[in-house]
Structure 1
């Protein structure tokens, strides 16, 4: 093996190195370890002397690659968990595949050179060069880029939206073995590893369930160097007009210096866009009044559920997509089978639009309220929304209900009627 890395600078180009230094958790870790910006940064080494990425470094590489090349449509935790399973985060890891072909997978994501070349040649993934130089797959950013590209391809294998389980098992054994018993243990290990990853979501006062403030943690008028995402790119002109017509929203936006046609989302300290509580209340009010007034879906309940599943992040939190945590396949089912067609759903990106996510979240909530043809109690509907209707067990899901009540208290006073929280 010709590749040999002692420093980050040996396996990362200048642009990627600068991106790593811009990640707050990475720069903090490196500075605490005695590294200095402008000098070479040491790679960590295991007892055998093999270099590896710390979990902080691995998270940063995955975050950067996803933001830069995949429009945040893929969750970095999937990449991190797979890297853990495939290589223990060792960039120089190799693995022999196939007794006859004797092909060798390389790098953190254990990519076969022929797979990388196929991704370049047939699918157009050309951000990094690998043709004629497969050893580039030992470089962390290159390996993660092609690993993410392969995961992206698997997510729509044979033009069908695939589940996380299918994607992960197919990554391990190929699409043919995605449902074979041989990949089941890999899936179980993946779930265990992913659950143990350091949390990346519960940070900053703006995303705490405690109802301490409705103000943005990073005011939109501050010059923070954030590349802002705009409301106007995530909502229709009609919905934006409705937001401007909402007195509390107009007051908040005007105070923050926002202009019609170019309204910025608030961003937290890690540059992630989120809704203020005033904004999320307004979205819930509008969706309810326009589309669910006869169903009686309560805006405060929608807000509380959003608080729990996404912490009000536009792109969602953890494995859940968007504000209400509704995935594309569920939204498409609600659209096609149940006739909820006020908003189109053409791709997973649509689920990161606040009004779209709120609409299908309300639709799913309405469906759960009459699950299997029976009128359901709030104590069933809330855990069913959060963990699936077939997984509701009042003893085991009781903590979910208590967390929901805590979140709900941010949006309405439930002390006046203890023990009775009406949803519909």
Structure 2
């Protein structure tokens, strides 16, 4: 009899905890949507006039904040920059003593290079963050072609018109995380 009462007690406690977490889900949000490397993100975002929440959303989508990553296509680091793009950024931005190999394991370097690149895309696409995020994934040439030919108008509402499924889902995923991070970390 005591065992049955104890099981009921634990079941009731578990149900109460689940109900509290359901009603106050914002208690779990920082655990579900953590942001690592906040200082590096904040500094780079400030340096290149990009919202830190957008940088964090790209990192979450690209590497889930895990250093040492290399994609099947060869993209490196937290922000998954292709080596050729990284070389271009390093040369254009004038980053001294930065090598492509540093992207893999140095969070600060990966964030700095990736944020500079993101900023250049935002500028290229006239402050259209949605088009810039699409270009981060598909390349600026593809996005420019879609915009110029009328295949896609660069808006989130018409993201289903993006011809690359991977890019379509990427834009939606980054936008989702961006909104979550703005809600959870407004003063990042």
Q: Same fold (TM over 0.5)?
A: yes
For the pair 1:65 / 2:41, whether they are aligned, the reply is: no
Deviation at residue 128 of structure 1 after TM alignment: 5.2
Distance in 2, Cα, partners of 1:149 & 1:135: 17
For the pair 1:184 / 2:160, whether they are aligned, the reply is: no
Distance in 1, Cα, partners of 2:68 & 2:50: 25
Distance in 2, Cα, partners of 1:188 & 1:92: 25
Match of 1:200 in 2: 185
Distance in 2, Cα, partners of 1:154 & 1:146: 12
Match of 1:334 in 2: none
Structure 2 counterpart SS, 1:55: coil
Structure 2 counterpart SS, 1:110: coil
Match of 2:123 in 1: 156
Match of 2:101 in 1: 135
Unaligned runs of 5+ in 1: 1-53, 98-103, 203-269, 271-424
Deviation at residue 193 of structure 1 after TM alignment: 1.5
Distance in 2, Cα, partners of 1:128 & 1:89: 24
For the pair 1:165 / 2:165, whether they are aligned, the reply is: no
Distance in 1, Cα, partners of 2:83 & 2:89: 10
Unaligned runs of 5+ in 2: 1-32, 144-151, 153-161
Which of 103, 108, 111 does residue 78 from structure 2 map onto?
108
Q: How many residues align?
A: 135
Once superposed, which parts of structure 1, at least 4 consecutive aligned residues long, lie more than 4 Å away? Answer: none
Give the structure with the larger helix fraction: 2
Distance in 1, Cα, partners of 2:121 & 2:94: 15
Which of 51, 63, 66 does residue 75 from structure 1 map onto?
51
Structure of greater relative contact order (alpha carbons < 8 Å, 6+ residues apart): 2
For the pair 1:119 / 2:89, whether they are aligned, the reply is: yes
| Contact 1:119–1:149 under 8 Å retained in 2 | yes
| Contact 1:93–1:110 under 8 Å retained in 2 | yes
Deviation at residue 59 of structure 1 after TM alignment: 2.7
C-alpha offsets along residues 358-386 of structure 1, whole Å, 9 cap, x if unaligned? xxxxxxxxxxxxxxxxxxxxxxxxxxxxx
Residues 144 and 108 from structure 1, CA distance in 2 versus in 1: closer, same or farther, beyond 3 angstroms? same
C-alpha offsets along residues 25-71 of structure 1, whole Å, 9 cap, x if unaligned? xxxxxxxxxxxxxxxxxxxxxxxxxxxxx93433322102223x32x
- Residues 19-34 of structure 1 aligned to structure 2 (within 5 Å): none
C-alpha offsets along residues 304-337 of structure 1, whole Å, 9 cap, x if unaligned? xxxxxxxxxxxxxxxxxxxxxxxxxxxxxxxxxx
| Contact 1:111–1:147 under 8 Å retained in 2 | yes
TM-score by length of 2: 0.64
C-alpha offsets along residues 165-207 of structure 1, whole Å, 9 cap, x if unaligned? 10001001111333433122211111212222262336xxxxx
Residues 65 and 156 from structure 1, CA distance in 2 versus in 1: closer, same or farther, beyond 3 angstroms? closer
Residues 60 and 107 from structure 1, CA distance in 2 versus in 1: closer, same or farther, beyond 3 angstroms? same
Deviation at residue 127 of structure 1 after TM alignment: 5.2
Residues 124 and 64 from structure 1, CA distance in 2 versus in 1: closer, same or farther, beyond 3 angstroms? closer
**Structure of larger gyration radius:** 1
Residues 116 and 87 from structure 1, CA distance in 2 versus in 1: closer, same or farther, beyond 3 angstroms? same
Deviation at residue 136 of structure 1 after TM alignment: 0.4
C-alpha offsets along residues 96-128 of structure 1, whole Å, 9 cap, x if unaligned? 22xxxxxx111100012221111122x233155
Distance in 2, Cα, partners of 1:184 & 1:112: 19
Distance in 2, Cα, partners of 1:124 & 1:149: 8
Calculate the aligned-residue CA RMSD, in Å.
2.2
Structure 1 counterpart SS, 2:71: strand
| Contact 2:36–2:65 under 8 Å retained in 1 | no
Deviation at residue 155 of structure 1 after TM alignment: 1.4
